[in-house]
Amino acid sequence: MSRRAPALRRSRASVRPAAVGMAVAFFLVAALALIPFWAMLVGTFQDGDMLIRYGLNLGIDLSQAHVKNYVMLFTDSGPYFGWFANSLVLTTVQVIGTLLVSSFVAYGFAMYEFRFKRAMFVLVLILLTIPFEMLMLPLYVQTNAMGLADSYAAIVLPFLAQAATIFFFRQYLVGVPQEILEAGRLDGVTEFGIFFRLVVPLMKPAFGAMAILNGMASWNNFLWPLLVLRSPEKYTLPIGLNTLLTPYGNNYSLLIVGAFFSMFPILLLFFAFQRFFVEGMTAGSVKG
């Protein structure tokens, strides 16, 4: 016992500098990641003309700082909060629908045996390699032919079965014991009951991770809604903010404070599911 004590103390002494070094490294990375947010926050207290002339900066001149941009946002921002509400509703529907449909598809790939299963899953993997820009034109033609142009359905429906989400869920579900399904069937539970009552509770980390990633993608989606939406009152927040920049004049004051407030829903989404995020990402990456 006495011989082990010095070795244990030496190992603890060697681990301590490594832990301190990792903490310092993570602090520096976090500080670098927060610099753009700080620059945007500082910009919200400046005039739009100052932003054009000097750009975003990290320092703030208190003698010229003001809250006029915030007053304008809440009193004279026009359709800004309409765009905000449109994006919020679309993101909520998109995330819930994508998680539900993609988990159904992944559950079938992971838990059932059927003809052409491997070939169909290979097609899902192939879809991961195809850029959206290649699918955009035929998808646009198809939505117009179906009469979905200028509707929110054209934004939501094509992306309910996300290849990346299906792949992630499938990898996660492969690690779920088949005995759980068999036990449910022996107890007389239906297949939908097995999924919702037995499997879904086990998938909470995976759902949390994919809710964050799909929520970010839907909230920041710009190109596809720009193609299918034509009515200004239906614009999402990214499209609406882009309309503030025109050849006839640019409203940078509203743009900077509006862009700053647009980050809050994603931050709230991350904080709501962040305890599942790391667990879900690591679990889904090691099971196959």
Question: Read out DSSP for 198-265?
Answer: IIGGGGHHHHHHHHHHHHHHHHT--HHHHHH---GGG--HHHHHHTTEETTEE-HHHHHHHHHHTTHH
Contact 109, 217 (CB under 8 A): no
What pairs with residue 250 in β-bridges?
Answer: 245
Beta strands 245-246 and 249-250 are: antiparallel
Q: What per-residue confidence (pLDDT) applies to 286? A: 45
Q: What per-residue confidence (pLDDT) applies to 190? A: 86
Contact 144, 255 (CB under 8 A): no
Q: What per-residue confidence (pLDDT) applies to 74? A: 87
Q: What per-residue confidence (pLDDT) applies to 154? A: 93
Contact 210, 280 (CB under 8 A): yes
Contact 57, 42 (CB under 8 A): yes
pTM: 0.83
Q: What per-residue confidence (pLDDT) applies to 288? A: 43
Both structure tokens of 138: 């035929």
**Residue 69's Cα: distance from chain center in Å?**
28
Instruction: Give all domains of the chain, ordered by start, each with its CATH number.
Output: 4-68 (no CATH), 77-286 (1.10.3720.10)
Nearest to 103 by CA among 259, 256, 214: 214
Angstrom distance (rounded) from CA 55 to CA 49: 9
Buried b (16+ CB within 10 A) or exposed e, 6-25: eeeeeeeeeeeeeeeeeeee
Q: What per-residue confidence (pLDDT) applies to 69? A: 86
pLDDT per residue rounded down to tens, the chain (288 residues): 455 555 545 555 555 777 778 888 888 888 888 888 888 888 888 887 777 777 777 777 777 778 888 888 888 878 999 999 999 999 999 999 999 999 999 999 988 888 888 999 999 999 888 888 888 999 999 999 998 989 999 999 988 989 999 999 999 898 888 888 888 888 888 888 888 988 988 888 889 989 999 999 999 999 999 999 999 899 999 999 998 877 666 788 888 899 999 999 998 888 888 777 666 555 544 444
The residue assigned the tokens 């602090």 is 27
For residue 3, the 8-state DSSP code is T
Both structure tokens of 257: 């404070």
Contact 148, 154 (CB under 8 A): yes
Contact 277, 212 (CB under 8 A): yes
The residue assigned the tokens 């244990």 is 8
3-state secondary structure of 190: coil
DSSP 82-149: HHHHHHHHHHHHHHHHHHHHHHHHHHHHHH---TTHHHHHHHHHHHHTS-HHHHHHHHHHHHHHTT-T
